[in-house]
Chains A and B, each alone.
Chain A
Amino acid sequence: MAGSTHASPIADVVVPLEGRPRHISPGYEVWRKFRRHRMAVASIGVLTLLTAAVLFGPLIWRIPINEIDFTARLAHPSWDHPFGTDDLGQDLLARMLYGGRISLAVGFAAMAVAIIVGVLIGAISGISRGSVDAALMWITDLFLALPQLPLLLLVIYLFRDFLKNWVGPEGGVFILIVLVIGAFRWMPVARLVRAQFLSLREKEFVEAARALGATTPRLVIRHILPNSLGPVIVAGTIDVAAAIIAESTLSFLGLGFPPDIPTWGRLLFDAKDYLDIAPHWALFAGAAIFLTVLTINFIGDGLRDALDPRRVM
């Protein structure tokens, strides 16, 4: 086993081999370790369920998201409206399903942007020495020091109309939010990756590969990068949760999606004044955000344990 210490080197010899040796692939090894983290496994189940619901739910639950029905205002959950209705009589289940698509898509897409940019910058800076490394780290520090909100306002004012004409109001805002959130969250990833690179490139297996004549790109892609991905995946899972919350913040400021697009953040914002009259309105949206963020964090936890080669289980 990976880290177990034998009493003496010859102990290996006396172990009797039963049939052919069991081959354990690294992927299976990770899964085996991940499986031990019960909450992480349960979280995968819940997250899959949530994702499936928002992807396929609207195909089954066919009430339009903006059907106004004043006779059913603030209705409590019932068979007609399993999640109840809001104060215009709009069906909350339909709105939750539609909004979940956007909230989850924003979360995952923003994570992808943050990780891609972060890994790229971290890797370049970690493998190259001297001025390139210094310059890239200056840029990272610069981004960390930027005031986010004023810059966000500026970016949205500058590019909103252009993107709207290009891909429509919803698509434009989607691209903008994903890019903006991604652009503000890659710095921790870049630093993590750079730190990993700095330590890994001095390791013996890298030196061995270099001695065998591997080029720098091959060293990076085949040898160093796969070994440094553990912390990156963990950082990524946290980014998903952060992006969902950031989208809610933007909607709150009126900079997000148009006000009639019911993202989860928006639903919560609309419902907050009605907490004592119609608690169901806020509860379902709040629970959905809570569950998503919690499950993703658990999965991140499980992955960190599973991907850490020094950890013995």
Chain B
Amino acid sequence: MQERELRDLIADVKTGRMSRRSFVQQMIAVGLTAPMAGMMLAQSGVAMAQTAIPYKPTKAGGGGLLKILYWQAVTLLNPHFAVGTKDQDGARVFYEPLAGWDQEGNLVPVLAAEIPSKENNGLTEDGLSVVWKLKKGVKWHDGMPFTADDVVFNWEYARNPETAAVSIASYKDAKVDKIDDFTVRVTFSKPTPFWADAFVGTYGMIIPKHLFADYIGGKSRDAPANLKPVGTGPYVFVDFKPGDIVRGKLNPNYHMPNRPYFDTIEIKGGGDAVSAARAVLQTGEYDYAWNMQVEDEILTKLEGAGKGKVSIVETGNIEFIMLNSTDPAAEVDGERASVKTKHPLFSDPAVRQAINLLIDRASIEKFIYGRTASATANFLNAPAKVRSTNTKFEFNIEKANAILEAAGWKKGGDGIRAKDGKPLRFVYQTSINAPRQKTQAIIKQACQKAGIDVELKSVVASVFFSSDAANPDTYTHFYCDAQMYNTTMTQPDPGFFMNQYLSWRAANKENKWQGRNVSRWQNKEYDEIYKQAEQELDAVKRAAMFIKLNDLVVTDNYIQPLLRRPKVSAVAGNLTVPLSGWDNDLWQIANWYRET
């Protein structure tokens, strides 16, 4: 998709020929995010829509107890240290950002009085600063007023490397000044097209200055408020047992009228995805369960009990297979899979192409994930206006056989193809999760029919996704030929998402395998375009560049997308839960209510 086509589409939205929603969906289809689509529209003069969040109760309270189940328990309650979504969600009950992202890529104000725009002088032409106006009359749970000082403090707190905040990336390149008690200005060191990062969404939650001021830097982990949050949110902290349960009760001074609906809230942790689904859908013990990584067949069956429903929200998450571009067997300078080596099998493009043809995406979607994923081969090359042709992919064993045959891989006596004495045999790893093991089995069988021998390996998720530099089984070490996992868009801007294929970001011994480029894929053209995109201020031009980047990655066949994975949750039948794929599950916890 070229820049011109993007401009045509935006023009269609402007004139009303195309709905905002379908534009956003098309942008997601080409690998961008809804927030970025929203930014493109805003810059082109299409105002952000006023999101109508449904809410019926006419007074606060009276809703009783809200029981939420997280099968990975919350371990801490400081949003600046929250690595996983579970911890972010736990913090979101008590803390709030200035604004959040809704499903269509609109910014929804929370602690901000309004969303900055050129009209209200919040944004400047040069893209160097943003002015946020804060809501007045907001009080912390302990009665202190919420002011611009708190916002400025959060920037100082998070950007300090010694604080070791996970949100540091959102704050380190900015400068935040207080203009008056209820206005702050964020100034960037270079033109920043995606300005809504600091103080927004997942990493934007604001903590109180008066409780954390003494704990900035090295002492950050000692703050008592890390475990006893005092925020501005709809619920006041009651009790927290790390790894087990979080409890809160209604905040009588909440800054939005008639909210929240529930008198008390409880987030229980532990168990596994299937038992969590059961607790909401079948037995009705709980009202909401997060992250349903469960076969659709089981979910459908559980829904049959009539106690609840499965809620599916589109996100930018993609389940994909990554082929190693380096040799995991050879050890160079004390590390395996060094970028100085080349993979003995996958360096042949024919092999990569054949494997792409051997992935039966349609069956994986239909028989394993069902409603909870949609097959995708190529989130690119999207013909401009029709989405359905976009999800075209091929599963063709004969063609794969022909490609391998033509490239000189001949079948041996054991039915395994080989070339120059190298048999087509590789190890394919993923985390332990029933749908993933089934996907492995399906791909292995197809490969077998094409004369490729695949050895399957599965690693416990807590090891596979850990950042342990000493453990060779983590996905970032990638001491394996191929691996599969789900890459999540942790930030609404695809800039962060796309830096995972930059040459200089390759994971290696030197950076303790923290480099984001796990596949070690190297491409000069990609690096160049990425550098340009970083500086590009025009949102539409920038989007076109990102699409080009996506294109480069996927057509090289080292990265093979399988499925787009939406956010799947289990919700009790009478509960109204506004969800967004671009923000935390609990981003609108103040607006949850029960139909009576």
Contact = CB atoms under 8 A, between A and B. Distances in A.
Given A253-B460, A277-B297, A68 B440 contact: no
Interface stretch (B53-61, B67-75, B119-127, B430-438): B430-438
A258 interface: yes
Contacts of B473: 157
Interface stretch (A4-12, A268-276, A301-309): A268-276
A201 interface: no
A73 B367 CA distance: 9
Nearest to B463: A254
Contacts of A68: 441-442, 445
B117 interface: no
Interface in B272-299: 274, 294-295, 297-298
Nearest to B472: A157
B458 A88 contact: no
B555 interface: no
A44 B591 CA distance: 66
Nearest to A261: B456
Given A66-B445, A259-B456, A87 B438 contact: yes
Contact of A169 (B294, B298, B301, B455): B455
A259 to B, nearest CB: 4
B441 A277 contact: no
Contact of B294 (A70, A74, A88, A273): A273
Given A70-B367, A87-B367, A273 B295 contact: yes
A264 B432 CA distance: 18
Contacts of B367: 70, 73, 87-88
B537 interface: no
A260 interface: yes
Contact of A254 (B366, B441, B445, B460): B460
Contacts of B440: 259-260
A274 B460 contact: no
Given A273-B274, A273-B294, A88 B442 contact: yes
B298 A273 contact: yes
Interface in A160-203: 169
B133 interface: no
Interface in A57-93: 66-68, 70, 73-74, 87-88, 90
A260 B434 CA distance: 11
B444 interface: yes
A254 B298 contact: no
A166 to B, nearest CB: 15
Contacts of A277: 297-298, 301
Contacts of B438: 87-88
B294 A254 contact: no
A293 B106 CA distance: 61
B363 A70 contact: yes
B444 A260 contact: yes
Contacts of B471: 157
A66 to B, nearest CB: 6
Interface string A275-286: 011000000000
A258 B455 CA distance: 8
Interface in B339-385: 363, 366-367
Contacts of A259: 432, 437, 440-441, 456-458
Contacts of A258: 455-458
Contacts of A270: 434, 437
A67 B446 CA distance: 10
B11 interface: no
A265 to B, nearest CB: 14
A241 to B, nearest CB: 25
A12 B367 CA distance: 80
Nearest to B459: A254
Interface in A226-280: 253-254, 258-260, 270, 273-274, 276-277
A66 B434 contact: no
A217 to B, nearest CB: 47
Nearest to B444: A260
A169 B428 CA distance: 13
A66 B295 contact: no
Given A87-B367, A254-B432, A270-B434, A66 B301 contact: no
Contacts of A70: 363, 366-367
Interface string A139-169: 0000000000000000001000000000001
A173 to B, nearest CB: 11
Nearest to B430: A259
Interface in B137-155: none
Given A87-B295, A87-B438, A259-B440, A276 B459 contact: no
A260 B455 CA distance: 9
A270 B366 CA distance: 19
Contacts of B459: 254
Nearest to A165: B329
A273 B368 CA distance: 13
A254 B473 CA distance: 12
A87 B439 CA distance: 12
A270 to B, nearest CB: 7
A90 to B, nearest CB: 8
- Of the listed residues A70, A88, A90, A258, the one surrounded by the most CB atoms of chain B closer than 10 A to its CB is A258
A96 to B, nearest CB: 17
A277 B282 CA distance: 14
A169 B427 CA distance: 10
Contacts of B363: 70
Interface in B398-439: 432, 434, 437-438
Contacts of B298: 273-274, 277
A157 to B, nearest CB: 7
Interface in A87-108: 87-88, 90
Nearest to B448: A66
- Of the listed residues A67, A87, A157, A273, the one surrounded by the most CB atoms of chain B closer than 10 A to its CB is A273
Nearest to B427: A169
A67 B449 CA distance: 11
A252 to B, nearest CB: 9
A74 B437 CA distance: 17
Given A70-B363, A169-B455, A258-B455, A87 B297 contact: yes
Nearest to A74: B297
Nearest to A89: B367
Contacts of A169: 455
B96 to A, nearest CB: 37
Given A157-B471, A157-B473, 19 more contacts: A66-B441, A68-B441, A70-B363, A88-B441, A254-B459, A258-B457, A259-B440, A259-B441, A259-B458, A260-B440, A260-B441, A260-B444, A260-B456, A273-B274, A273-B294, A274-B297, A274-B298, A276-B301, A277-B298
Which 4 A-B residue pairings sit nearest by Cβ, starting from the closest? A259-B458, A254-B432, A259-B437, A258-B456
17 contacts: A70-B366, A70-B367, A88-B438, A169-B455, A254-B432, A258-B455, A258-B457, A258-B458, A259-B432, A260-B437, A260-B444, A260-B456, A270-B434, A273-B298, A273-B434, A276-B301, A277-B298
